[in-house]
């Protein structure tokens, strides 16, 4: 069968860099860090006391007061992003077949704060007997954001969540892309959200030595590809993309941001939390994405890398890029926007896909910030253009966005300029 073309017609985001797409993009291009001291809980006794939080978000602006208690923070952020994306897409739902519009929206963890609160309250008061909020389970589960979005808009098409740790929302985008090009839906709201700046998440990642502990200098703590990197900075937020079948989009006169060219998935099959040191899974997922898109490595101009600022992960991804792209590696722009946004875990892929789309639209690459002269890792080839510290204008015909998750889950998506 002839596969249908899939385009992006709407974007929405609430991130550590801004509570909408425009502000997030402006601050990314300016190389602004979203990091700061943790305000969501008292982190004074934790090894890491800072994070990339969403600022000045009032759920009361989005939900009626009695409804707020039904939503974990991650779902609130998801619904905010989806609402903005739906508005941006200009979809007139009253004219649409809602049986053919779906929601595939992810979280790597889901309602961890809800779980903490409910279980903590139980153990504090267990002598009184079990008493739980009736919304405990539906607030906590990782698929509920997709459910909320579908119910708010009456969307009856495919509806589920993808859960693959930090690759979750890239997997969601790839699944949405595949269903639309197979003719199973006209449009899908896709993306991801995460809200894990909580005691158990920060404490758990600290126990693994995964987080940066630069408490005195949080703004510069996320420093991908620098020798002094010491772990990632945890972040939160939500990003939504409206993917749409091309003919459906053009028939209604939609604005098209970019075309989804292809997606890839793979597994490291190596370690619970560490990427393969030679980047075997990363190589495979990028090759799978290129094959799916029917593109050559030379057709990619920009890679938004996973680039978490961890000692092993950054090196393995660079090795994988050099292996897959060969001499063309030195003609690429590479950047890790996690240096600014922090790591949104299950929400990372959607945010980074959005930033890649905007890079294509505006023909400019957002930077990797916080690299200092001389802070070079001997295991990293600095002839590669990591777009250090300042955005760079260049022709971007196509961009590749990488995400890799605990458990060895890898997902990549290729986005390109839309040409009739």
In the residue annotation, 52 being an active-site residue is answered as: no
In the residue annotation, 409 being an active-site residue is answered as: no
Q: Which residues of 339-376 are buried (b: 16+ CB within 10 A; e: fewer)?
A: bbbbbbbbbbbbbbbbbbbbbbbeebbbbbbbbeeeee
3-state helix, strand, coil in the chain (%, to 5): 40, 20, 40
Exactly one of 148, 248, 343, 409 is catalytic; which is it?
A: 343
Secondary structure (3-state) at 412: strand
Look up residue 239 and give its DSSP letter: E
Vertex 287, ends 289 and 161: CA angle to 5°? 40
Length of the chain equals: 420
Residue 243 near residue 180, CB atoms below 8 Å: yes
Residue 295 near residue 313, CB atoms below 8 Å: no
Structure tokens that stand for 231 in this block: 């772990």
Exactly one of 166, 248, 276, 371 is catalytic; which is it?
A: 166
The closest of 77, 59, 70, 94 to 12, measured between CA atoms, is: 77
Secondary structure (3-state) at 16: coil
Q: How many helices (H) and strands (E) does the chain have?
A: 13, 14
Secondary structure (3-state) at 292: helix
Question: Residue 58 CB: number of other CB atoms within 10 A?
Answer: 9
In the residue annotation, 248 being an active-site residue is answered as: no
Is residue 6 classed exposed, middle or buried when 0-12, 13-18 and 19+ CB atoms within 10 A define those classes? Answer: buried
Residue 294 near residue 328, CB atoms below 8 Å: no
Rounded distance between C-alpha atoms, residue 173 and residue 107, angstroms: 12
φ, ψ of residue 15 in degrees (nearest 5): -140, 170
| 324: Cα within 13 Å, side-chain hemisphere | 28
Helices (H), 261-337: 280-293, 311-325
In DSSP terms, which residues pair with 212 in a beta bridge? none
Residue 187 near residue 253, CB atoms below 8 Å: no
Exactly one of 248, 306, 371, 409 is catalytic; which is it?
A: 306
Residues annotated as part of the active site: 166, 306, 343
């Amino acid at each position: 069968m002839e596969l249908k073309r899939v385009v992006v017609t709407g974007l929405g985001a609430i991130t550590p860099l801004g509570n909408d797409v425009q502000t997030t993009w402006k601050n990314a291009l300016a190389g602004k860090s979203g990091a700061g001291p943790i305000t969501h809980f008292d982190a004074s006794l934790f090894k890491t006391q800072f994070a990339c939080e969403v600022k000045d978000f009032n759920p009361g602006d989005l939900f009626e007061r009695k409804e707020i208690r039904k939503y974990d923070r991650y779902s609130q952020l998801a619904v905010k992003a989806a609402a903005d994306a739906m508005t941006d897409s200009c979809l007139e739902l009253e004219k649409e077949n809602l049986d053919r519009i779906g929601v595939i929206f992810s979280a790597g963890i889901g309602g961890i704060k809800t779980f903490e609160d409910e279980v903590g309250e139980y153990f504090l008061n267990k002598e009184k007997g079990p008493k739980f909020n009736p919304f405990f389970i539906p607030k906590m589960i990782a698929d509920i954001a997709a459910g909320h979005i579908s119910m708010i808009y009456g969307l009856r098409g495919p509806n589920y969540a993808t859960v693959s740790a930090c690759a979750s929302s890239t997997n969601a985008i790839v699944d949405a892309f595949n269903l639309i090009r197979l003719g199973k839906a006209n449009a899908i709201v896709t993306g991801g959200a995460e809200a894990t700046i909580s005691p158990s998440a920060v404490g758990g990642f600290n126990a693994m030595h995964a987080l940066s502990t630069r408490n005195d200098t949080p703004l510069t703590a996320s420093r991908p590809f620098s020798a002094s990197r010491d772990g990632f900075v945890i972040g939160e937020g939500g990003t939504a993309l409206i993917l749409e079948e091309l003919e459906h989009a053009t028939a209604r006169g939609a604005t098209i941001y970019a075309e989804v060219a292809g997606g890839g998935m793979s597994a490291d099959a190596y370690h619970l939390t560490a990427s393969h040191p030679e980047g075997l899974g990363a190589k495979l997922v990028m090759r799978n994405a290129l094959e799916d898109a029917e593109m050559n490595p030379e057709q990619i101009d920009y890679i938004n890398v996973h680039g978490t600022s961890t000692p092993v992960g950054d090196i393995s991804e660079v090795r994988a890029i050099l292996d897959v792209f060969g001499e063309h590696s030195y003609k690429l722009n590479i950047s890790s926007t996690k240096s600014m946004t922090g790591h949104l875990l299950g929400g990372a892929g959607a945010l980074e896909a959005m930033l890649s789309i905007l890079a294509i639209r505006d023909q400019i690459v957002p930077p990797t910030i916080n690299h200092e002269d001389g802070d070079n890792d001997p295991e990293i080839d600095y002839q590669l253009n990591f777009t250090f510290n300042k955005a760079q204008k260049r022709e971007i015909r196509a961009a590749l966005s990488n995400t890799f998750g605990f458990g060895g889950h890898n997902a990549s998506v290729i986005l390109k300029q839309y040409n009739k």
